[in-house]
Structure 1
């Protein structure tokens, strides 16, 4: 985590918003991995806001996808579906077939998880 904090500091010092957005997303992934979901969501949302603010859509797919994953893990399937749909639309606009395929697989997994959860 110290490396990411240093990366954040450098990105801020250099006013490199792309690096900042990427680093914030990675910090969110670390928090998600250790199941600290509120902090993960906070960093994903900051990453997304930074990408929007700088008008760089290339940095938006990661946090959108990660927010979908986070909401799926926490059982908030409506939010997960909404973020996966936004991710899919982003990949469509970029004509990125691999991204679309990966997102459809995540969406299918979320539907499967939702069905399993409802059966319990």
Structure 2
């Protein structure tokens, strides 16, 4: 007598495993934290990357958070930079302050 299963048949253990997936409470799980768009494409792209944490083990979070923080800092710093524009017009000739004289004696 053999204990083998005829080809094409599934054992009860295989069937149960297919129906009930293994639950691992230590496995990464999505936090499902809603992210509201800011309207700035660069900032929104960095915030969307936070969803990557849902698929990482805890020890991978720090590196990802630091990278997103660096990207957000760069994007926000760029918003504070003034765009280069044309130079301000010079005041009329009569309103210009006199140039400093380097030959005047100091008092």
TM-score w.r.t. length of structure 1: 0.27
Structure number with greater Rg is: 2
Q: Point out which structure has higher relative CO (alpha carbons under 8 A, 6+ apart).
A: 2
TM value normalised by structure 2: 0.30
Higher helix share: 1
